[in-house]
Structure 1
Amino acid sequence: MTHTIHWLGAGLSSAPGIIELAKQSTPIIVWNRSLAKAQQLLKNDDIELDIRELDWAALANVVKPGDVLVSMLPATMHLTVAEFCLKQQAHFVSSSYIAPEMAALDAKAKAANLCFVNEVGLDPGIDHLFAHLLVDSYQASEQYSADNQLYFRSYCGGFPKVANDFKYKFSWSPLGVLKALRSKAQWQADGTVQNSNAPWEALSEYQAQLFDRQETFQAYPNRDSIPFIKQYNFQDNWDVQEFVRGTLRLNGWSTAWQGLFDEIASLEGSESEQRLQQISQELEQKYSYEDGEADRVVMCVELEVRRAGQVIWHQSYQLDSHGNAQGQAMARLVSYPVGLAITSVLNNEIAPGVSAAPEKPEQIHQWLSKLTGLGESIGHHDHIAR
């Protein structure tokens, strides 16, 4: 029986993945709140696409058991889509983090033999794949010992390929970026849990190994890194000195944004939301990507292992991608892995229940091989000459 992919939300991060899926044999219907906007974003001479206005009653009429629904809608909508999937006996895929409410659907999804796959975009997504490969490789190495000290760093950032005075440009409404500047973060450093109330409180310099060269960025912890220690299969008896998942910014970013930091830190009360909206509109006018302007995405995931102060094992994975004819780097690296997750669900390669990106090296290598086949360059570096 042929199943259908229903892709909900055709925003800026969706087009390359949708177009790639449409070249394959599985039927795909794109549902978007604005029909005209979706038609504009998905113009492509190589494919014919069925694009419809998102209407839940219409969707319910066409979704069949075993179909796959992709939620690229705002994160607040994912649970609604997942619960809709339970009713319709359909699988669910999203690039977003697994919220507690989504995790709570695990037993129901398993009972219905449905896959509810999340965290399969860029970050979270590709970073998970790299992390699992590093942990697996280290555990299989001769240097492995529970007595070693571990330093794990995973950083990702998107910015213009050609740097501007602001050291940043916005692909969509800046409001989300501004709100993230008020977000608390938690990570591990010096063997203990650390906290910050805003990025500028925990800003550091990061030397990224990018293929055959190094580049200096600014970096800061993002969200709560601690739960990922377990998710990445670090064992309870390992001495984890550092564990951080964070954001990369171009060198000089904090200086360019200092005035913005100062104002955001001073905002209080009911007027703060209004002012954030105002700042967002100003930034969107001043620092949006021009038509055809290339973005850049850099990701570095590394695991460093020390014994008696000496580095005995150190490997990393990296991406350094630019916008091209297939779309912006951010859009490709978010939507291509989503497409791989959909294909894996349809091929029965993912277990039922709520899950994140694959953990098994064999499946990860398959995904990475498909990404390189789509033109993405993935670097792997062993920092110790053996």
Structure 2
Amino acid sequence: MKNILLFGAGKSATFLIDYLLTNAPRQKWHITVADNDLMLIKSKIGKSYYATAAAIDVKEQAVRQQLIQETDLVISLLPPALHIIIAKDCLHFSKNLLTASYIDPEIRKLQKDIQKAGLLFMYEMGLDPGIDHMSAMKLIHSIEKKGGQIYAFKSYCGGLISPESNDNPWQYKISWNARNIVLAGTSGAIYKEKGKVKEVEYQQLFDQSKTVQVPGLGKLAFYPNRDSLNYVDVYNLGNIPTFMRATLRYPDFCEGWNALVKLGLTDDSKKHPTDNVTYFKWASQNIKVDKQLTNEENVAHFLGVSSKSKLVRQLKYLGILNGELINLGEQSNAVILQHVLEDRLKMEPADKDMIVMLHEIEFERRNMATRLHSYMIVQGEDNLRTAMAKTVGLPLGIMAKLLLSGNLQLTGLHIPVMPEVYNPVLRELEEFDIRFEESFE
């Protein structure tokens, strides 16, 4: 019997837990799910003979280390800042680790020790990052194998609301970690276009009308991700003129989010008292308010739009132009905004989300220029069995099976860019209707 320890039972864990429990009898697995919310764990594992609930505070070292010591494989779906304590314990007790989060500087410091210990720490094994790496590398390797010379690579991914559930002026509902949504893009973006390195400050990131065409969906807006250039060498595309990774949204979302950025409502740097403070007073903290004007007119004037505009309708929909009191104690703008979004943009039980991923690769082969489009669209089932949970969780589950079955001889700190990982994972994902369609121009 092999023991798997999963930290985190939140939004992204649903399909992963289902996958592990479905495979448990045949693979002879036992799964322990650790989270601080016992009822949440039980709602995910049911009464399965192959699962144990562990209600713990992950920061309690003795309890956490006891669980890690007793397992064969650790999977972490905790908030990114907590991965490092799990990673250090895994290194100490010689346990392999899988997570969907980015490799960060802290884990990089342990790289030599992980390799020396003969362990595998597979990071970025979810959707984005994860499926994006695997699908992109499969395409890149295939093109290169046939003698193609790649000169432009663009990759886009977005967690969106499915068209039938798209019923608010933001064209968006929350299907994953709301704090990550609020803070997305705060570090700005760096990418490469036609030989030039482009740097975009956060304040300008959403102030763009750039769109891309997705079959069956039409035009979607995009904004560049963080530092795309981190992956140029990883993808072995160091010399190409154009390289960008980006996030997809419906166009209305980007326009509305740009307004929130201009208003300063995504700032997480300092706390403000909110008791007996109205939402409008909070939302207008950077505006010189004219008491002769309505709240809508004041905000519209600041943003340079009509008080009847779509932007003002979006802000009204969030309830931040009214006189209701916030009463959340001392909080940062980002935390207050997160509270607002979780209330106003939450998924209802029957709502369906949607994942869209698109790769555009331009290459030359036999003196012929070719553009390859490869795209994936995945729809969720409801507000619990989401496309987001499916595409984040299943790669981790498949990777766990690959590792525990002894079919993968790989050690060190990695992300999934090698054929021995991406081929079996992508193949099995197709069994769950997670597949790419390709076209050439």
Q: Residue 187 in 1 paired to residue 186 in 2? A: no
Give the partner amino acid of 1:16: F
2:334 to 270, 276, 296: 276
Q: Residue 78 in 1 paired to residue 83 in 2? A: yes
**Is the deviation greater in 262-271 or in 90-99?**
262-271
**Secondary structure at the residue paired with 1:20?**
helix
Q: Residue 175 in 1 paired to residue 179 in 2? A: yes
CA distance in 2, matches of 1:188, 1:358: 21
- C-alpha displacement of 1:350: 4.5
**Secondary structure at the residue paired with 2:361?**
strand
CA distance in 2, matches of 1:119, 1:62: 23
1:166 to 149, 167, 170: 170
Q: 1:225 to 1:135 in 2, by over 3 A?
A: same
CA distance in 1, matches of 2:111, 2:405: 20
CA distance in 2, matches of 1:269, 1:104: 27
Q: For 1:153-232, list aligned pairs within 5 A.
A: 153-161=154-162, 162-163=165-166, 164-172=168-176, 174-198=178-202, 199-208=205-214, 210=215, 213=216, 215-232=218-235
Q: For 1:79-94, list aligned pairs within 5 A.
A: 79-94=84-99
- C-alpha displacement of 1:84: 0.4
2:42 to 34, 39, 42: 39
1:354 to 382, 388, 413: 413
- C-alpha displacement of 1:207: 1.4
- C-alpha displacement of 1:102: 0.9
Could you list the runs of 5+ residues in structure 1 that have no partner in the other structure? none
Q: For 1:75-154, list aligned pairs within 5 A.
A: 75-142=80-147, 144-145=148-149, 150-154=151-155
**Is the deviation greater in 284-293 or in 176-185?**
176-185
- C-alpha displacement of 1:135: 1.1
Would the aligned equivalents of 2:224 and 2:247 in 1 still touch at CA under 8 Å?
Answer: yes
Q: 1:120 to 1:172 in 2, by over 3 A?
A: closer
- C-alpha displacement of 1:314: 2.4
CA distance in 2, matches of 1:318, 1:346: 31
2:378 to 321, 328, 331: 321
CA distance in 2, matches of 1:353, 1:259: 44
- C-alpha displacement of 1:113: 1.3
What per-residue deviation string (whole Å, max 9, x for no partner) do you get for residues 127-146 of structure 1? 0011111211111224x24x
Q: Residue 27 in 1 paired to residue 30 in 2? A: yes
Q: 1:51 to 1:135 in 2, by over 3 A?
A: same
- C-alpha displacement of 1:180: 1.6
How many residue pairs get aligned? The number is: 369
**Secondary structure at the residue paired with 1:231?**
coil
CA distance in 2, matches of 1:52, 1:45: 14
**Secondary structure at the residue paired with 1:226?**
helix
**Secondary structure at the residue paired with 1:4?**
strand
What per-residue deviation string (whole Å, max 9, x for no partner) do you get for residues 287-346 of structure 1? 1111231111101122112589x9622223321111127810000100000112222222
Would the aligned equivalents of 2:206 and 2:257 in 1 still touch at CA under 8 Å?
Answer: no
Would the aligned equivalents of 2:156 and 2:245 in 1 still touch at CA under 8 Å?
Answer: yes
**Secondary structure at the residue paired with 1:166?**
coil
**Secondary structure at the residue paired with 2:2?**
coil
- Aligned partner of 1:54 in structure 2 is 56
Give the TM-score normalised by the residue count of structure 2: 0.77
- C-alpha displacement of 1:271: 4.2
Would the aligned equivalents of 1:190 and 1:242 in 2 still touch at CA under 8 Å?
Answer: yes
- Aligned partner of 2:276 in structure 1 is none
**Secondary structure at the residue paired with 1:195?**
strand
- C-alpha displacement of 1:177: 1.6
Give the partner amino acid of 2:210: S
Give the partner amino acid of 1:52: A
**Secondary structure at the residue paired with 1:171?**
coil
Would the aligned equivalents of 2:183 and 2:266 in 1 still touch at CA under 8 Å?
Answer: no
Give the partner amino acid of 1:79: I
CA distance in 1, matches of 2:140, 2:95: 33
Give the partner amino acid of 1:54: I
Q: Residue 4 in 1 paired to residue 3 in 2? A: yes
Q: 1:321 to 1:45 in 2, by over 3 A?
A: farther
Would the aligned equivalents of 1:65 and 1:90 in 2 still touch at CA under 8 Å?
Answer: no
CA distance in 1, matches of 2:133, 2:19: 22
**Is the deviation greater in 162-171 or in 125-134?**
162-171
**Is the deviation greater in 109-118 or in 318-327?**
318-327
Give the partner amino acid of 2:212: Y
Give the partner amino acid of 1:178: V
Q: 1:72 to 1:350 in 2, by over 3 A?
A: farther
CA distance in 2, matches of 1:174, 1:266: 12
Would the aligned equivalents of 1:8 and 1:31 in 2 still touch at CA under 8 Å?
Answer: yes
Structure of greater relative contact order (alpha carbons < 8 Å, 6+ residues apart): 1
**Is the deviation greater in 64-73 or in 163-172?**
64-73
Would the aligned equivalents of 1:23 and 1:47 in 2 still touch at CA under 8 Å?
Answer: no
- C-alpha displacement of 1:241: 2.0
Q: Residue 382 in 1 paired to residue 382 in 2? A: no
